[in-house]
């Protein structure tokens, strides 16, 4: 089975995002040339600054709207690997029609696969970033989730309630339908392809930040990392309605650097071909983040003078268990601990001058 060569050019979509920037970092350190797909030249300037020491090993490739027909036609030419972390989402999820949200996500996947089929003559591996949200939704009882599961509950909720569906359910339904569409396309076309597909399902992704963000309270600091910060530093209760810090979000977690490393290894590892791989370091509820921070012998964030929240005492309920046997079979990777990740995140806040 083909794998990319050691000096190959790799296309990374979503390259200026949280995960994408770490994928770029990992690839450059490994000696690859990176073609960084960005919406515009302006969106890629932080990448050029961050990785200026690599010179022309990093190439910006503006593509405009990733959901447009043929958006990736030129970008996929003469690359051996693609890491597709980009996911265009409709804005204003709470008000959006879930069909529009899903169609946008589906087109983001099918667009790059169609371009790869037509113009990826050098291509050997496509790595798609999905989500554990495509595998399962909320859980209130013990549940084992595998890479063969699909979050049909979210899809059905959107079909039933339309625009009134919760924004998070619209998001997870779109991830479900978008990944399903990618695999259906692949199964239909793989006999004529010279490349193979791998998909990763990460849960909550935490870790220090390389991409361009502003202050802790800025709109550019968002997602899992923002939730972590606000939970431990500000005492914000990020639990789902009717749940507590001890049993919410009933998901898993992974360090962004580990997620990036595995995306790159998927380009290099023959056994990753055709696999749907859940990558998770362990189960996760918000009390885990609080406990990890409070267990540090010394805070790496001395500028923060307020005491960290203590959360709740009591037994934590990790309802969801992710089956990571495929990851262990293919990669056998050893993940960072949550305490290691938390320490590095606080040190990152200190470097940024946050108080």
Q: How does pLDDT run across 165-200, given as a tens digit for each residue?
A: 999 999 999 999 999 999 999 999 999 999 999 999
Eight-state DSSP code of residue 309: P
Q: What does the pLDDT average to over 303-323?
A: 95
Per-residue model confidence as pLDDT tens digits over 108-127? 999 999 999 999 999 999 99
What tokens appear for 151 in the block? 């979050």
pLDDT, averaged across the chain: 94
For residues 154 and 100, give the distance between their C-alpha atoms in angstroms, rounded to a whole number: 15
3-state secondary structure of 211: coil
Contact call for residues 232 and 293 (beta carbons, < 8 A): yes
pTM above 0.85, yes or no: yes
> What's the 3-state SS for 239-257?
CCCCCCCCCCCCEEEEEHH
- 73 has pLDDT over 90: yes
What tokens appear for 252 in the block? 């898993």
Q: What does the pLDDT average to over 202-221?
A: 93
Q: What does the pLDDT average to over 290-297?
A: 97
Task: Provide the angle, in degrees to the nearest 10, between the axes of the packed helices 338-351 and 224-234.
Answer: 80
Task: Provide the angle, in degrees to the nearest 10, between the axes of the packed helices 98-119 and 152-161.
Answer: 130
Q: How much of the chain exceeds pLDDT 90, in percent? A: 87
Q: What does the pLDDT average to over 326-341?
A: 98
3-state secondary structure of 333: coil
Give the residue with greater pLDDT, 219 vs 353: 353
Contact call for residues 108 and 86 (beta carbons, < 8 A): yes
- 2 has pLDDT over 70: no
What tokens appear for 292 in the block? 């990890």
Give the CA distances from residue 232 to residues 220, 255, 307, in Å, rounded to whole numbers and listed in that order.
19, 17, 9
What tokens appear for 271 in the block? 């056994």
- 1 has pLDDT over 60: no
Q: How much of the chain exceeds pLDDT 70, in percent? A: 98
Give the CA distances from residue 304 to residues 5, 103, 228, 338, in Å, rounded to whole numbers and listed in that order.
46, 43, 15, 20
- 67 has pLDDT over 90: no
pLDDT value at position 3? Answer: 84
Strand bridging mode 276-278 / 196-201: parallel
Contact call for residues 278 and 324 (beta carbons, < 8 A): yes
Which residues is 204 bridged to in the sheet? Answer: 253
Query: If pLDDT is split at 50, 70 and 90, which confidence band does 95 have?
Result: confident
For residues 128 and 110, give the distance between their C-alpha atoms in angstroms, rounded to a whole number: 11
* HSE-up of residue 5 (Cα within 13 Å, Cβ side): 8
- Residue matched to tokens 């496509």: 126
pLDDT value at position 116? Answer: 98
Comparing C-alpha atoms, which of 280, 289, 175 is closest to residue 239? 289
3-state secondary structure of 5: coil
- 90 has pLDDT over 70: no
* Helical ranges in the chain per DSSP H: 18-29, 45-50, 98-119, 152-161, 167-189, 224-234, 256-268, 286-294, 325-330, 338-351
Eight-state DSSP code of residue 163: G
What backbone torsions phi and psi does residue 219 show, to the nearest 5 degrees?
-65, -20
pLDDT value at position 88? Answer: 64
For residues 34 and 163, give the distance between their C-alpha atoms in angstroms, rounded to a whole number: 39
- 337 has pLDDT over 70: yes
């Amino acid at each position: 089975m083909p794998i990319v060569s050691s000096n190959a050019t790799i296309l990374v979509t979503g390259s200026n995002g949280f995960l994408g920037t770490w994928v770029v970092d990992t690839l450059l350190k490994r000696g690859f040339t990176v073609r960084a797909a960005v919406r515009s030249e302006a969106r890629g300037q932080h990448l050029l600054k961050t990785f200026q020491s690599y010179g022309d090993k990093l190439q910006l490739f503006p593509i405009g709207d990733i959901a447009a027909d043929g958006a990736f036609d030129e970008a996929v030419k003469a690359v051996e690997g693609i890491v597709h972390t980009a996911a265009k989402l409709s804005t204003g999820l709470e008000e959006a029609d879930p069909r529009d949200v899903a169609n946008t996500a589906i087109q983001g996947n099918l667009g790059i696969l169609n371009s790869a089929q037509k113009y990826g003559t050098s291509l050997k591996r496509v790595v798609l970033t999905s989500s554990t949200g495509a595998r399962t939704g909320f859980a209130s009882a013990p549940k084992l989730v595998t890479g063969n599961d699909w979050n049909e509950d979210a899809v059905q909720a959107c079909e039933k309630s339309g625009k009134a569906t919760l924004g998070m359910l619209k998001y997870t339904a779109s991830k479900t339908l978008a990944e399903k569409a990618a695999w259906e396309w692949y199964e239909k076309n793989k006999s004529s392809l010279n490349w193979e597909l791998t998909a990763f399902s990460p849960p909550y992704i935490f870790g220090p930040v390389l991409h361009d963000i502003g202050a802790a309270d800025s709109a550019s600091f968002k997602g899992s990392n923002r939730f972590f910060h606000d939970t431990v530093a500000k005492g914000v209760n990020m639990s789902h309605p009717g749940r507590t810090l001890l049993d919410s979000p009933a998901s898993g977690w992974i360090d962004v650097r580990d997620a990036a490393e595995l995306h790159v290894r998927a380009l290099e590892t023959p056994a990753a071909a055709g696999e749907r791989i859940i990558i998770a370091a362990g189960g996760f509820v918000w009390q885990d983040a609080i406990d990890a921070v409070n267990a540090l012998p010394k805070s790496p964030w001395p500028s923060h003078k307020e005491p960290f929240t203590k959360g709740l005492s009591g037994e934590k309920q990790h309802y969801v268990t992710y089956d990571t046997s495929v990851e262990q079979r293919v990669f056998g990777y050893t993940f960072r601990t949550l305490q290691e990740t938390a320490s590095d995140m606080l040190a990152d806040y200190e470097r940024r001058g946050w108080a």
